[in-house]
Amino acid sequence: MARVLFLGGLGRSGTTLVERLLGELPGVCALGEVVHLWQRDLRDDERCGCGARFSGCGFWRRVGALAFNGWHNVDVDRVHYLRDAVERTRHIPRLATAVEAPEEVHEYAEYYSRIYSAAHEVSGARIIVDSSKHSALAHVLRWSGEIDLRVVHVVRDARGVAYSWTKTVERPETDGAQQMTRYSPARSALLWTAHNAAFGLLARRGVAVRRIRYEEFVTDPRAALADIATFAGLDVTPADLDFVHDGQADLRVGHSAAGNPMRFTVGRLALRRDDAWMDALPLRQRRLVGAVCAPMLRAYGYPLNPLEVAR
């Protein structure tokens, strides 16, 4: 049975960074955001983290062959129908309280478990990482009997997340044709609260969930990685962590199928806490986000007063 480490949290919380570093550990195979594979890779043939088009990547070709007897056998319309039917934030209360999930939940989860199992076999890795982030997908995967699901819930200060969502970011895999989505601070504050609460609910349903704070992860990535490895049941030696040193990480080529542009980074990556929001997010917006997110910011140990966190 494939052991799946699902990286959850609202976008712009640092999940791609966590995934890239985890992917360097022996025995770990990082797949990127599998939730986007159906459209961006099967339909649009965007680039894999290795630089090849999805259809030209040998790793993913082998995974598709094993999982579905070839990707051409996947009915993407059906996957999208199932996603709309079951993988929605508004369905989480039902998914979390149901005694038995509807058949469509199992059918949707099986598309994912097949990919995980095939990646497990093709890579020989003990741990498969899916950084799909979506809380609703984690609630769906909870019902799969085919995987050993463990969730790493990545949280970041809501004001840093809000600032990041206001910025314009290109999507290199579309060769400049598209930019990443943007949200207003008010909108991202609401999303931040809803998504993070959903992971708290998942933990109360008996799923193994480990919460980490982006800010702490970046400050001491070696300790954080060792901690996550223990949570995942993976033995790592100090030497296994030597790719992280002096505030940087040495990254090799990966096969992340979809996600943040950082998945294309190869070589040296500087590990710096991104605190740009402290100067750049206007005080009014900082207060708004702080007020909306106050209960959970407090629960996660973030200071509420904007003056306390201002430089």
Site of interaction with Zn ion (CB under 5 A)? 48, 50, 57, 59, 255
Q: What's the closest the beta carbon of residue 150 comes to Zn ion, in angstroms?
A: 24
Q: Where are the alpha helices (DSSP H) in 172-264?
A: 185-204, 214-219, 221-232
Q: What's the closest the beta carbon of residue 226 comes to Zn ion, in angstroms?
A: 28
Q: Can you tell me the distance from the alpha carbon of 43 to that of 304, in angstroms, rounded to the nearest whole number? A: 44
The count of other CB atoms within 10 Å of the CB of residue 65 is: 14
Q: What's the closest the beta carbon of residue 213 comes to Zn ion, in angstroms?
A: 31
* C-alpha closest to that of 254 among 1, 28, 42, 61: 28
For Zn ion, the closer of residues 49 and 221 by Cβ is 49
For Zn ion, the closer of residues 8 and 64 by Cβ is 64
E-state strands within 166-304: 208-213, 244-245, 248-251, 267-270
Q: What is the CA radius of gyration of the chain?
A: 19
* C-alpha closest to that of 275 among 161, 133, 153: 161
Q: What's the closest the beta carbon of residue 12 comes to Zn ion, in angstroms?
A: 24
The count of other CB atoms within 10 Å of the CB of residue 311 is: 5
For Zn ion, the closer of residues 50 and 152 by Cβ is 50
For Zn ion, the closer of residues 195 and 255 by Cβ is 255
Q: In sequence order, which residues have a C-beta less than 8 Å from that of residue 36 and are 6 or more positions away? A: 132, 257, 258, 259
For Zn ion, the closer of residues 51 and 282 by Cβ is 51
Per the CB < 8 A criterion, the answer to whether 162 and 192 are in contact is yes
For Zn ion, the closer of residues 65 and 207 by Cβ is 65
Q: In what order do the strands lie in the sheet with 244-245?
A: 244-245, 248-251, 267-270
Tokens 């478990």 correspond to 113
Tokens 């640092």 correspond to 14
Q: What's the closest the beta carbon of residue 119 comes to Zn ion, in angstroms?
A: 12
Per the CB < 8 A criterion, the answer to whether 277 and 162 are in contact is yes
Quick check: helix, strand or coil at residue 287?
helix
Per the CB < 8 A criterion, the answer to whether 222 and 244 are in contact is yes
Phi, psi of 5, deg, nearest 5: -100, 110
Q: What's the closest the beta carbon of residue 256 comes to Zn ion, in angstroms?
A: 8
Q: What's the closest the beta carbon of residue 54 comes to Zn ion, in angstroms?
A: 8
Q: What's the closest the beta carbon of residue 59 comes to Zn ion, in angstroms?
A: 5
